[in-house]
Amino acid sequence: MNAQEMTKQQVHKFLDSQYEDIYYLKDRWNDEKDYEDFKDYEEIVKEIFADHNKEHKTSFANVRVNKHFKINCETSVALITLKFNADALRIKYQSK
């Protein structure tokens, strides 16, 4: 298995365990955005990735999330974008 395939496998493993939690945060943000600070949500998403890295020995780094829950991160071989849309999750991989 090459590095790109391993990265895709790591992303799918991450999503298998964290997909519902991140969608929950997105939905909660949409309900509470008038009176909550987005930085709190951003920190939780970063903690989710950090915890996953420790537990599964993955290396998702430079995690960034915007208010639309578009998450950018990277591994040693790829830049990854996860878009948590209302109707679907979109994943984009770009080689480094």
Q: What pLDDT sits at residue 68?
A: 94
- Torsion, Cα 23 28 29 33, to 10 degrees, reads 160
Question: What CA–CA distance (Å, rounded) separates 93 from 7?
Answer: 9
Cβ proximity of 72 and 81 under 8 Å: yes
Q: Domain count of the chain?
A: 1
What gap in Å lies between CA 3 and CA 15, rounded to an integer? 18
For residue 93, the cross-strand partners are 80
pLDDT at 25: 96
Closest Cα to residue 82, out of 27, 30, 8?
A: 8
Structural domain range at position 47: 3-95
Tens digit of pLDDT at every position of the chain (96 positions): 788 898 999 999 999 999 999 999 999 999 999 999 999 999 999 999 999 999 999 999 999 999 999 999 999 999 999 999 888 899 999 998
Residue 74 is predicted with a pLDDT of 96
12, containing H or E segment: helix 3-32
